[in-house]
Structures are given as structure tokens and as C-alpha cells.
Amino acid sequence: MASFTKTMLERYDDEVTAATTSPFLTAAGKHELSKEILSEYLTQDKIYAFVGYPKFIANLISHLPLLTPTASTPSLLKLFSFALTNVARETSFFADTADNFGLTLSQPPQSGAVFGILNSTTKAYVDFLTGTEDLEEGLVLLWGMEQLYLKAWQHAKSQTPTSTTSDTSDALKLLIDNWTCEEFEIFVQDCVGAVEGLELVEGSERWKRCEEVWKYVLWLEVRFWPSV
């Protein structure tokens, strides 16, 4: 049986590269971001994490068969519980990072504002998260987001800083280390395992629906990074 996650990464390799090697990420790795651009990113990421992500995970938990659990129910509940705990930690981490390094979590976007500080891509992402009701599609969405996020910040970490004394150097080092840590890598692998546990058959309607989710995640991720 074909691996869904491996097939998606290989089939959409160009899109994966575009989503995880943006000029913003390269500049982040080189410590070349201004406070304004880094603040813009953190502002949108916090909205995504604080507004969309908890409701999304809660939705997934609500669709678990807790009264009549399957073999995968305990591991999925553990996965979702970690995701909720982690996103709560992340939102506090955003606030602490902003306070400690002179950043803001209310930076207006350069373009595409649709409501105050909310840009159109973040709104689309939040709508996608909160509108996903199907458990299988939700697992693919969770894996897709986290897999691409990890790959993106691993790309940033692979860059050689041109300065260690810029206005954002210390903040960027902290952020990059946080988003490439071993604990996060393990979580992403757990997400891979959960998707593979669905035993999706290529060509089936289930596979096709999940592939459409993956394609939309890619579309959103390409557009989520600020322009530099």
C-alpha cells in the first residue's frame, strides 16, 4: 500500500519547496529580518494559533469515538491533547518573545488586511481550520501544517547568520530553536503515523478528499510568509 504522506511530499515537491523556502525564511535564518517584518509574522501566527488551532483540535477530539473506541482512539486522543497543550504554550511563548525583544503582536500587514490586523491568508487558514469537521481530513490537515512548518524552520536553521547583533538576532535564534526542537520533530512523526494509520488507498474517494486537503494546505502555506 502506498504511503500517503510520502506520496504527497514527492508528488508536490515543487509546492513543498515553495512553501518551506520562502525569502522570509531565508532572511530569518540569516538574521536579516527587521522588527516590523518579524512582528508582522508573529502577529499572523498568533491569530492562527490562538483563534483557529484550538477550535480545530477540539473539533477533532469531538469526532473521536470515545464511547466505542477503536484501536487508534487512545493514541489519537494523546496526539490531540499534546497539540492543545503545545499551542497554549506557544501563544504564551509569542507574548513573552515580543515583550523580551521589543516586538509587537499587533503589527498591521503590509497588504491584504481584511479586518484590523488580520490578513486574507490568515483568515482563509482560520476558516479552513474551524470548518474542518471530518476526522480523516482533519488528520491530514494537522499533519500537513506541522510537517511544512517543521521543514520551513529547518530551512531557516540551515542558513548562516550574516549578523548576530541585529535587532532581531536573539529573537530569531530563540524562535528557530523552538520550532526545530526534537520534541516538535517527534510530534510531526506522530502526525505521520496517525495519517498512515488511516490506511488510505490511492485512487479511492477517501484518498482523493485527503489529497485535496493537502493541496489547499500547500496553497495557504506558500502565501502565509510575509514579503521581504
Instruction: Band the pLDDT of 69: cuts 50, 70, 90.
Output: very high
Q: What is the pLDDT of residue 195?
A: 98
Q: What is the pLDDT of residue 125?
A: 98
Q: What is the pLDDT of residue 83?
A: 97
Looking at the structure of the chain, the number of domains it has is: 1
Report the CATH number at residue 8.
1.20.910.10
Q: Which of 91, 170, 168, 121 is nearest to 19 (CA)?
A: 121
- How would you class 90 by CB atoms within 10 Å of its CB: exposed for 0-12, middle for 13-18, buried for 19 or more? middle
Q: What is the pLDDT of residue 1?
A: 82
pLDDT in tens, 169-188: 999 999 999 999 999 999 99
Q: What is the pLDDT of residue 163?
A: 81
Q: Which domain holds residue 166?
A: 4-224
CA distances from 62 to 46, 206, 209 (A): 24, 20, 21
Dist. CA 25–CA 178, nearest whole Å: 15
Question: Facing residues of 118 across strands?
Answer: 115
**Phi and psi at residue 32, to the nearest 5°:** -110, 15
The letter for the amino acid at 60 is L
14: Cβ contacts below 8 Å, ≥ 6 apart: none
State mean pLDDT over 102-118.
91
Q: Which of 111, 113, 1, 102 is nearest to 47 (CA)?
A: 113
Dist. CA 225–CA 24, nearest whole Å: 6
